[in-house]
């Protein structure tokens, strides 16, 4: 089954959770342990990537995860180095509010021939970086969307929808001290029919629930698995809170 269909089937019934693993943060064996615990906690898939991903680490980790896990492995590339064939799909994304054409369409053009040859499933996605923006905001030369300007985020989402993208990711930046504001999530969700992903700075069940209630379809967390002593329990806290009616 295609990964996008897998998403859409689940989303008919409930919200989803994805765990982001940065291959640079641990060995591939450790990444497998983290991913296994996250899946036991209720994560619906694993995203692999980071703003400064090293392709050698990525290849190793992706291969290990792909051989040992049953949930989809989705690439979340920070650059053209974030591509490997050991994955089920790739978020084929454009950093819409970058001021540098490289991050809007340059990297995508360089990567497209390889992705076509690899035959992994591309999922077209608009990516918008909100204050504080973290490493991705800096690396991606983003003109950060102010937190109190939900209409700006909604306008970008509408443009993404009109351009034919099917997913939209509101990103506060990995490790952000505060997640994307609920009002912004609400405004984006109300303005489009896109599948809405929200991530950056979500650390508790309450944070996740607020984002899901505001309209996020898919919640992404990364940093919490790097810090948690009991990964399964921590992910389960997040997952339960977004599945509550």
Task: Provide the annotated binding site for Mg(2+).
Answer: 22, 51
Residues in a beta bridge with 129: 171
- By beta-carbon proximity to ligand 1GP, the closer residue of 72 and 199 is 199
Q: Please, are residues 168 and 192 in contact by the beta-carbon 8 Å criterion?
A: yes
Instruction: Give, as one character, the DSSP assignment of residue 45.
Output: E
For residue 94, state whether it binds ligand 1GP (rule: CB under 6 A): no
Q: Give the one residue of 37, 199, 211, 219 binding ligand 1GP; rule: CB under 6 A.
A: 199
| Sequence-distant (≥ 6) Cβ neighbours of residue 66 within 8 angstroms | 73, 86, 87, 88
Q: Which residue is nearest to ligand 1GP (CB)?
A: 199
What's the min distance (Å) between Cβ of 89 and ligand 1GP?
16
Give the phi and the psi of residue 237 in degrees, each rounded to 5. -60, -45
Tally of helices (H runs) and strands (E runs) in the chain: 11, 8
Instruction: Please identify, among the stretches 9-17, 28-36, 113-121, 169-177, the one whose residues bind ligand 1GP according to the rule CB under 6 A.
Output: 169-177
Tokens 């209720």 sit on residue: 42
The answer to whether residue 72 forms part of the interface with ligand 1GP (CB under 6 A) is: no
**b/e 101-124 (16+ beta carbons within 10 angstroms → b):** ebbbeebbeebeeebeebebbbbb
Residues 206-245 that bind ligand 1GP (CB under 6 A): 220-223
Please say which residue, 92 or 113, places its beta carbon nearer to ligand 1GP.
92
Task: Give yes or no for residue 90 binding ligand 1GP (CB under 6 A).
Answer: no
Q: With CB under 6 A as the contact rule, which of the stretches 23-31, 55-63, 104-112, 172-180 interacts with ligand 1GP?
A: 172-180
Does 79 contact ligand 1GP by CB under 6 A? no
> Given the complex with ligand 1GP, which of 1 and 232 has the nearer CB atom?
232
* Cα–Cα distance, 245 to 240 (Å, whole number): 10
1: three-class secondary structure by DSSP: coil
**Cα–Cα distance, 186 to 166 (Å, whole number):** 17
For 3, what's the count of Cα atoms within 13 Å in the CB-facing half-sphere? 25
In the complex, what is the shortest distance from the CB of residue 119 to ligand 1GP, in angstroms, rounded to a whole number?
26
Question: At closest approach, how far in Å is the CB of 113 from ligand 1GP?
Answer: 26
Instruction: Round to whole Å and give the CA distance between 114 and 132.
Output: 33
**134-153 footprint of ligand 1GP as x/- string (CB under 6 A):** --------------------
For binding to ligand 1GP (CB under 6 A), which residues are involved? 20, 171, 174-176, 199-202, 220-223
């Amino acid at each position: 089954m295609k990964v996008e269909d897998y998403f859409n089937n689940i989303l008919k019934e409930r919200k989803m959770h994805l765990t982001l693993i940065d291959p640079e943060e641990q060995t591939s064996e450790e990444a497998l342990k983290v991913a296994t615990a996250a899946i036991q906690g209720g994560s619906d898939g694993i995203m692999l990537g980071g703003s400064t991903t090293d392709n050698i680490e990525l290849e190793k980790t992706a291969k290990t995860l792909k051989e040992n896990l049953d949930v989809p492995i989705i690439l979340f590339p920070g650059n053209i180095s974030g591509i490997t064939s050991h994955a089920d799909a790739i978020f084929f994304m454009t950093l819409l509010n970058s001021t540098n054409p490289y991050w809007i369409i340059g990297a995508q053009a360089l990567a497209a021939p390889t992705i076509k040859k690899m035959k992994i499933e591309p999922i077209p996605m608009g990516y918008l970086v909100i204050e504080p923006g973290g490493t991705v905001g800096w690396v991606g030369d983003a003109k950060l969307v102010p937190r109190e300007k939900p209409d700006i985020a909604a306008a970008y989402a509408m443009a993404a929808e009109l351009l034919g993208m099917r997913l939209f990711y509101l990103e506060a930046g990995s490790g952000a001290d505060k997640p994307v504001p609920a009002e912004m999530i609400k405004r984006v969700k109300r303005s489009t029919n896109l599948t809405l992903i929200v991530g950056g700075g979500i650390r508790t069940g309450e944070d996740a629930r607020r984002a899901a209630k505001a309209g996020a379809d898919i919640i992404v967390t990364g940093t919490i698995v790097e810090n948690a002593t009991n990964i399964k329990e921590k992910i389960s806290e997040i997952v339960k809170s977004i599945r509550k009616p």
